[in-house]
Structure 1
Amino acid sequence: MFPSRRPHLLATGAAVTTVLLWASAFVSIRSAGDAYSPGALALGRLFSGVIALGVLCLIRREGPPPRAAWRGIAVSGLLWFGVYMVVLNWGEQQVDAGTAALVVNIGPILIALLGARLLGDAMPPRLLAGMAVSFAGAVTVGLSMSGGGGSSVLGVVLCLLAAVAYAGGVVAQKPALGSASALQVTTYGCLVGAVVCLPFTGQLVQQVSDAPLSATLNMVYLGVFPTALAFTTWAYALARTTASRMGATTYAVPALVVLMSWVVLGEVPGLLTLVGGVLCLAGVAVSRSRAAAAAAPQPAKLSDSV
């Protein structure tokens, strides 16, 4: 019994690791974003990620991915690692945190729609219900954190573009994981994103000399943990479930960001924010509640290694 459950537990652990690290990224971005422009921060983050992933590939003796995976890697690298990171950094400078969280959280809904259309993902009622509850929670968190006069049309458009790029990147990545490992897909996707961000090299070189050490360390942290590690654990989990379910899992991020901001930054959340966070977590629990039952009868499909 236990051996058949082990792959599912590993995939669940990978998803939890991803969500925790992506939530921590919002705290680090808040610090590094004061010293680095959006493009420079994205390039520095991706450059740090490529180095960490490259070392890991050498240790594990991972070669380049097969040709069949390159299309998905290139598209996800362009959209998710490149466009998403730049426009999200830019958008968060134009709108308050609540508005950004609200707009970007349409991403999982877009993933579900695109996954059903392009990948044939199932849309069971429990998944849809869980996503609806989580989205209501994200809206509640966003509204509770929004401040008057802190938003702009440009910022909302940028956050919307970030959500679209995120959804497109996830859906493009899923087929690539059928022929390449999670580490290969993440490493070369990160490399593609870094190449896309090379025009910001001049800004990065100029700003790194003026930035405080804490901001630079936060940028490196973003590259090593929320990028190199978290995107790899994401790909590992995504290879073992549908894009829709993985997208729904990320609705736990707003709740964790609220908790981490409370603990690390001393930002005490209001009652409405706490209610929204609880709704986010409840929706994730509902949307993933049948994943274990579906995974247990099919251990052979879940036993691949990274």
Structure 2
Amino acid sequence: MKAGHLLQLLLLSAVWGVSFLQIRIAGDSFPPLWVALLRCSSGALLLWSVMILGRRSLPSRKLLPWLLLVALFNNAIPFTFFAWGERTIPSSTAAVVNATTPIWTLLISLAVQRGHATGRMIAGVLLSFAGVVLVVYGHEVGEETASARAGLVLGVTLVVMASLCYAIATVMAKAKLKGIDPIGLATTQLTLASLMLLPVALAGAYPVAVSVPSIAAIATLGLAGSGIAYLLYYNLLAHVSATHVVAVTYLLPIWGLFWGLLAHETIGWTAYLGVAVVVAGLLILNWKTQVQAASSTARA
């Protein structure tokens, strides 16, 4: 891998990694549905500009049902659930739990294709989940009230569901959306997700006492996390193997801890151990495995 591509990979992982912290900051002023809506719409605006200037092509209309489903499971639901979940858990914990996305993708793919899990796969899955439990336990040790523990369970459950949604979208995209211009696909996804979220957000709670940090976080999420990150991701896929690009999966939990530490989140020693265990599990899971899907990387 060339030095330039390695730098792009590190930049991509840093942008996606900081998204977890930006989601928490945005949630200080915006309800979860509004965080998701503004993230999708601002990202879509950037990608539409790229589409028009680059004369890229949109997916065929006959694929609209599948495009709607992928937008729902890859953007609308998980973006909302991350914002909701991070109201009660630290961004660093969310980043580590999100690392289960490749595991869910593998399990769903095996179920759909009626495949058989190897001993290596089982070991990788169990090890990764054990690492997540360590991270969650490390956070729970410091909690004292029943409401705080309930909030922890709710937050972790929502992030797990968001990660599962990413996996469902990945499997659907593999099966039904092959051969589509990736920028066109990403633009369509964010646009459709925005249209889905708009009426629901307008019918619910509205933002109050909007702060400058929250606005900056929303701009970072949309323009960087859901705009520039897509461009970096697909540019990397065009020049290096998907097996190398999937290394972003291993870096996201590490970046999550790093940004959380800078934001003065409470991080116990078990969290660092848990991240090491998660990364080890993912490495075992993907050892000598050819990654083929452009959207198989864990996202935030």
TM-score range (shorter-chain normalised) is: 0.7 to 0.9
Provide the C-alpha distance between the structure 2 equivalents of 1:231 and 1:120, rounded to a whole number of angstroms: 31
Identity value in percent: 24
Q: Which moved more, 1:58-67 or 1:93-102?
A: 93-102
Contact kept, 8 Å, 1:101 with 1:142, in 2: the verdict is no
Runs of at least 5 residues in structure 1 that lack an aligned partner in the other structure: none
Match of 1:63, SS state, is coil
Q: Deviations over 1:135-187 (max 9, x none)?
A: 32222122212334322465555344323322212212223552202211111
Number of positions where the alignment pairs a residue of Structure 1 with one of Structure 2: 284
CA contact (8 A) 1:111 1:171 kept: yes
Which AA in structure 1 matches 2:211?
P
| Alpha carbons 1:33, 1:89 under 8 Å: kept | yes
Report the counterpart of residue 297 of structure 2 in structure 1. none
Moved more, 251-260 or 94-103: 94-103
Q: TM-score, normalised by structure 1?
A: 0.75
Change over 3 Å in CA distance of 1:190–1:211 after alignment to 2: same
- Residue by residue, what CA displacement relative to the aligned partner does 1:37-56 show, whole Å, maximum 9, x if unpaired? 10111111111101111111
Please state how far the C-alpha of 1:206 moved relative to its aligned partner. 5.3
Does the 8 A contact of 2:130 with 2:277 survive in 1? yes
Contact 1:252 1:280 in 2 (8 A): no
CA contact (8 A) 1:46 1:190 kept: yes
| Distance of 1:228 and 1:121 partners within structure 2 | 35
Kept in 2, the 8 Å contact 1:72–1:175? The answer is: no
1:284 aligns with 2:282: yes
| 1:273 to 2:267 alignment | no
Report SS of the residue matched to 2:179: coil
Partner of 1:77: 71
Deviations 1:177-225 (A, max 9, x none): 52202211111111111111102554899537x3111210110110111
Give me the whole-angstrom Cα distance separating, in 1, the residues matched to 2:121 and 2:234: 20
How far, CA to CA, are the matches of 1:191 and 1:182 in structure 2? 14
Work out which structure has the larger RCO, using CA pairs closer than 8 Å and 6 or more positions apart in sequence. 2
Change (3 A) 1:131 1:279: same
For structure 2, which runs of at least 5 residues remain unmatched after alignment? 295-300
Give the corresponding residue for 2:221.
222
Q: Which TM-score applies when normalising by structure 2?
A: 0.76
Distance 1:137 1:41, change over 3 A: same
* Alpha-carbon spacing, 1:254–1:103, altered in 2? closer, same or farther (3 Å): closer
Q: Secondary structure at the match of 1:218?
A: helix
Secondary structure (helix, strand or coil) at the match of 1:197 reads helix
Rounded Cα–Cα distance in structure 1 between residues aligned with 2:71 and 2:116 = 25
